[in-house]
Amino acid sequence: MQSDLDWLARQGAIAAIDTYQRALSPHKGFACPHRLLYGRESCSDYARQLLHNQSLLQAAKTLPQRFRLCQQAAQQLQASQYQQSNSGCIVIPCCLPL
């Protein structure tokens, strides 16, 4: 029963991520700093992969570390852009301070 509940919760979370990626993300005006800096998957793609491969509890324990890394990536990108010039796109962090 608990595994059925976990599966259902994970499917709901994956559906929410899919909706975010389709409806909100393209219009928010900035990209995931972690993806921009390292060229890998975005935080939402990473969360989606976790939810496919781990329990909801395991994914919930893993994601805060990724969000901290994303915040650090945003700070690195902002510092780099500031040093290069004051013109151009400003990357806004996608992750709230934890």
Task: Give pLDDT tens digits for 20-79.
Answer: 999 999 888 889 999 999 999 999 999 999 999 999 999 999 999 999 999 999 999 998
pLDDT of residue 81: 75
Cα separation, 28 vs 91, whole angstroms? 11
Instruction: Report which of 49, 50, 95 is spatially closest to residue 72, judged by C-alpha positions.
Output: 95
pLDDT of residue 85: 57
pTM recorded for the entire structure: 0.78
pLDDT of residue 91: 55
Cα separation, 38 vs 73, whole angstroms? 8
Residues contacting residue 17 through CB under 8 Å, at least 6 positions apart: 44, 47, 48, 51
pLDDT of residue 29: 83
Tokens of 28: 């928010």
Task: Look at 10 and 98; give whichever has higher pLDDT.
Answer: 10
Predicted confidence (pLDDT) at residue 95 exceeds the cutoff of 70: no
Predicted confidence (pLDDT) at residue 98 exceeds the cutoff of 80: no
